[in-house]
Each structure stands twice: as structure tokens, then as C-alpha cells.
Amino acid sequence: MSNLKNFLLWPGLALMAVFLVFSIGSGAAQAQNIGVVDLKKAVDESKAGKAANNKLQAKYESLKKSLDNRQKELEKKEKDLRSQASTLNQDALEKRGNDLANDVRTFREQAQKATDEMQKAMTDAMSPLFTKAEQAAARLASERGFSMVMDVKEGGVVFFQSAIDITADITKALDR
């Protein structure tokens, strides 16, 4: 009889333990307040972000215009060389071909330099804004009792209630 009692007691205890673990787990999950933010959107929509993006766009257009003009010059130079190839002697043709190849190589180096310059300008302009946005998110999380704030663009967030989205608040904080 004693064995039968123990046999019946263990499943009941196991079931209670499972129930207890799940009820504690769900209580802990409810105590976690989580906020979400789209940092890129917050920065891009802020006054400083718009100004930085406008400045970067102007720089890009200037660099692009310069490179486009140089590319057209090289294309014209190549077209002229092709059209004159039959009238030039071998030495002149070879010299102009080498000159064109050097010009193309220089152009590629200039294009790479412009790309690097744009990347540096973007980093210099946007990094401080993202740092401020992250600081604002930390401050808002503390004020609102959030245990965590997740960036929706960094993955992992599939759905969230708009009530926990602090993107607009971050934009306002950046505009102050």
C-alpha cells in the first residue's frame, strides 16, 4: 500500500512542480517591460538628421557630377582614338592607347577615393546622431521602466504594439 501511495503521489508532485515553474516563468515575462525603436527612422526624421542627409546628398551630387564629366571625357577620348586608329601610325596609336589606359586607371582611383570620401563623410555626420539617439533611448527606457529597448531594424522583432514604440520620442529628443 505504501508503494501505491508513493506511486500516486509522485505524478501529482511532478505536475505541481511543472505548474509552479510555468506560473513563475509567465509572471517573470509579464514583469519585463520592453520598448522598441527604429533608430534609423528616428535619426533620419530629426532636424539634425535631415540637415546631415541634405549635406551628404549635396556632397554626393558634387562628386558624382565631377566623376560623370570625367567619364564622358574618357569615353570621347576612346571614341576619337577608335575613329582615328586607321589613320595613326603604330607608335602614335600605341602612345594614345597607353595614355587612355593610364587615364582610365586614374579615373578608377578617383572614383574609389570619392567612394571612400563619401563613406567617411557619412560616418562622421551620422555616428554622433546615432550615439545621441541611443543615449535618448536609454534615458527614455529608464524613465518608462523598460527593461530593454530593441531596434526593430536589427532583426528579431516581428510584431509589436505601437504603445511600446519610442521612435517618435527619440526624434523629439534629438530635436531638442
> What CATH number is attached to the domain comprising 120?
3.30.910
Count of domains observed in the chain: 2
Residue with cell 542627409: 53
20 and 100 belong to one structural domain: no
151 and 107 belong to one structural domain: yes
39 and 24 belong to one structural domain: no
Of 30 and 116, the structure prediction assigns the larger pLDDT to 116
159 and 98 belong to one structural domain: yes
111 and 52 belong to one structural domain: yes
**Domain extent at residue 94:** 32-175
CA atoms of 61 and 16, how far apart (whole Å): 69
Torsion of the alpha carbons at 24, 29, 31 and 36, rounded to the nearest 10: 170
Give Cα 22 distance to the centre of its chain.
38
* φ, ψ at 38 (rounded to 5°): -110, 90
Looking at residue 36, what is its pLDDT?
A: 93
CA atoms of 107 and 78, how far apart (whole Å): 14
**From its phi and psi, is residue 16 left (phi > 0), alpha (psi between -120 and 50) or beta?**
alpha
26 and 106 belong to one structural domain: no
Quote the percentage of the chain above a pLDDT of 70. 82
**pLDDT interval class at 81 (50, 70, 90):** very high
CA atoms of 49 and 63, how far apart (whole Å): 21
Reported as a single tens digit per residue, the pLDDT across 114-146 is 999 999 999 999 999 999 999 999 999 999 999
Residue 99 has pLDDT above 60, yes or no: yes
| Average pLDDT of the chain to the nearest whole number | 85
61 and 6 belong to one structural domain: no
2 and 52 belong to one structural domain: no
11 and 61 belong to one structural domain: no
Looking at residue 153, what is its pLDDT?
A: 86
163 and 139 belong to one structural domain: yes
- Specify the pTM: 0.71
27 and 37 belong to one structural domain: no
CB atoms within 10 A of CB 174: 19
64 and 132 belong to one structural domain: yes
